Structure 1
Amino acid sequence: MSAENEGHPPSETLYIRNIKENIKIPVLKESLDAAFSLYGPVLDIIAHANIRMRGQAFVVFDDVETAQKALEEVQGFPLFDQPLEIQFAKSKSDATVRKNGDEQLEEHIKIRLADKERKKAELEAALKKRKRQGGSLASGRPSKKAAGGPADDLLPPNKILFLQNLPDDITSDQLTEKFEAYPGFFEVRLVPGRKGIAFVEYETDDQAVIAKRETADLAFGGNAVRITFARK
């Protein structure tokens, strides 16, 4: 399941982020259930402790209208002293599809797995292409012919890209549109109270390396965006 961009049609599933990361999963699920079940039956709450899902969760309602009302009224609610950021999920949850029968659920899972395999194949093809061109994804450094540029560009690669020199009015929709085109895209994170910067996360280091290189000339509103790996 993946997060949807703001401005898209509502769905039964809400994607929640900016959750305090040190909360135990059972406590988190109970707290989310208490907050959202006030608006209607909650079919499922999806939250995991792994790095990829840390600070995030999905809440599944029985119908779109209930999810819409919950999003509007719980948006910004300070759960564990951090305001929740809520939007609609991009894909339907298993719990939602299951209502239409096991046959549709089976097809839903099959499509999801096929999409995962497609992205994996795209990544492998991109890795082979880079190797043929003489670059090294493992080191995150360009080949000698392509060497040069600011020292920050030689930071060890990791799965999070750090974007600078963005327009003050940039939205997560605009950034997502650019970066979701590359395999392994996970999410865009704007920084509350800080303008001009953002983080883009991928599932693996190699996927982030590819996205960074493919967006080297990215610009918004006349601003040439500076992209480096996030410092750890």
Structure 2
Amino acid sequence: MAQPPIATVYVRNLEERVKPDVLKETLRAIFSEYGNVIDIVAKTNLKAKGQAFVVFDKPEAAEAAIDDIQGFELFEKPMHLALARTRSDATVLKTGNEDEFDAHKRRRMAEKDKKKALEAAEDQKRLKRPLPGAPAEIAARPAKNARGAGLKATGQAAAAVVPDEYLPPNRILFVQNLPDDYDKDVLTSIFNRFDGFREVRMVPGRSGIAFVEYDGEVGAIAAKENTAGMSLKDGEKTMKVTYQRQ
């Protein structure tokens, strides 16, 4: 199925010291010359600073802006422009189709979770790498992590373990921190409202944890987004929901 035309411009190489509100106002003034700008998203987290997304109501406006503004200096830095890889939330919302927007949001969250998992795995690998030029006897030592962020020191190389919150999506959820009296029926009533629900599996001899299985990732992603952090028993417990470790 062909992807609908993209009406969003991805902007990078922006001056990171400019405040988000000032940056968005300036971008709107520049890009509005090419069409109706319906949204501007300026990234503020450390890794994504210097980037923004400018959303037009028509794909032709996005293409015209890229052709004309490419390399334009803003705050003494040339902007690098390209079409975004996917449609923005604002574009999908314009269709008025709630089901389409929900599906779009689930796909975006799945991609975000996968990216986090890959980044976490890379971070763990870096912890295991010896420093350049380190003596062989030092390089051969097993990596140690004093903060316990997923590396277990053994007589061999330490194994990298991705933290629970960064595990990539799959169709089985791991549910923790449940009240002791929560059984299969109670959990079924919470999780069976999401598409593709299959079953709840309790762990024999262990209270407070369970596995919830769906037919596919889509239902599991929706369930995780809507139940993680849910308050249980009048706030006595907060449910933790992650993807099952593969």
TM-score, normalised to structure 1's length?
Answer: 0.50
Bigger RCO (CA 8 Å, 6+ sep): 1
Structure with bigger gyration radius: 2
